[in-house]
Amino acid sequence: MNNKVPGKLEGKLAVVTGASRGLGRWIAVELAGHGASVAVNFASSVADADETVRLITEAGGTAKAIRADITQESEVERLIEDSVRWFGRSVDVLVNNATGPQPMLSIEESSWQIYTDQLEFFVKAPLLLTKAVLAGMKSQGSGSIVNIGSEVAQLGNANFSSYVTAKAAMIGMTRSWANELAPYGIRVNLVAPGWIPVERHKDSDTDGYQKQVPLGHMGEPLDIAAAVSFLASQEAKFITGQCLSVNGGNTFGI
């Protein structure tokens, strides 16, 4: 007899962009751990994406790595088509997580192109992905979209304005989409991480940042993943248009 309790995302299909490493990997692992089948999107790191899939399948979950540049419309459409075909159902959960390089530049050093590069990841890509999953979500009368923002939208970090601007835009987009899609049973929320060290931070000194965090320590990728899986699930069925800061109390409200 199988006494396994169904996970809170059992039978759901989740697409996580940028899931080959960093926060995306652990968001994918967490969603799969709660029963979702997960499309593990990545741009170029095949071995890393395969490792995310391995972590999921070895724990008894279901996942497939799907390469797609999420800033390109045709590739986004293929990503969603392949996900739906492979797993045999519409997308239930979309996590807009992927990021490209995040340049720290003064205003003088910044060009409009530097700004649009960030908008490509944090406004254009979520828009393309949301458009691609919407028909399926509307026809099933449910869905959860989780945008990964950042505390920088509240902190306004100096010499980081292109990234800060794009992350701030995600907040307005989240709220407007939440209002527009609520009548269809589709919820849209944002998780705003503080600095969560991932592979690309391996040589960074976190001491200064950590001192200012009220809880007194750095967060871990699974702290973000837990917030995403909560918002993705029916536990959050009455929550939409919200920004959830996961940063040890480093910012309040938004």
Ligand X SMILES: NC(=O)c1ccc[n+]([C@@H]2O[C@H](COP(=O)([O-])OP(=O)(O)OC[C@H]3O[C@@H](n4cnc5c(N)ncnc54)[C@H](OP(=O)(O)O)[C@@H]3O)[C@@H](O)[C@H]2O)c1
The two most distant CA atoms of the chain are separated, in Å, by 67
- Minimum separation from the CB atom of position 186 to ligand X (A): 21
- The footprint of ligand X (CB under 6 A) covers 17-24, 41-45, 48, 69-71, 97-100, 148, 150, 193, 195-196, 198-200
Q: Which is nearer to ligand X, 71 or 210 (CB)?
A: 71
Residue 220 CB-density burial (10 A; 0-12 exposed, 13-18 middle, 19+ buried): middle
8 Å CB contact between 251 and 154: yes
Nearer to ligand X, 119 or 140 (CB): 119
Q: Residue 163 catalytic? A: yes
Please state the closest distance from residue 116 (CB atom) to ligand X, in A: 14
141 vs 214 by CB, closer to ligand X: 214
Q: Could you tell me if 86 and 53 are in contact, meaning their C-beta atoms sit under 8 angstroms apart?
A: no
What is the sign of the dihedral through the CA atoms of 193, 196, 200 and 206? positive
Point out the catalytic residue in the list 115, 163, 184, 209: 163
Residues 6+ positions from 185 with CB-CB distance below 8 Å: 141, 142, 143
Dihedral over Cα of 109, 115, 121, 122: its sign: positive
CB of 68 to ligand X, least distance (A): 6
Taking CA atoms, 20 is separated from 82, 123, 193, 238, in Å, by: 17, 21, 18, 31
Distance, CA of 235 to CA of 248 (rounded, Å): 22
Cβ nearer to ligand X, comparing 199 with 203: 199
CB of 38 to ligand X, least distance (A): 13
**Measured at CB, which residue is nearest to ligand X?**
22
Q: List residues with catalytic annotation.
A: 163
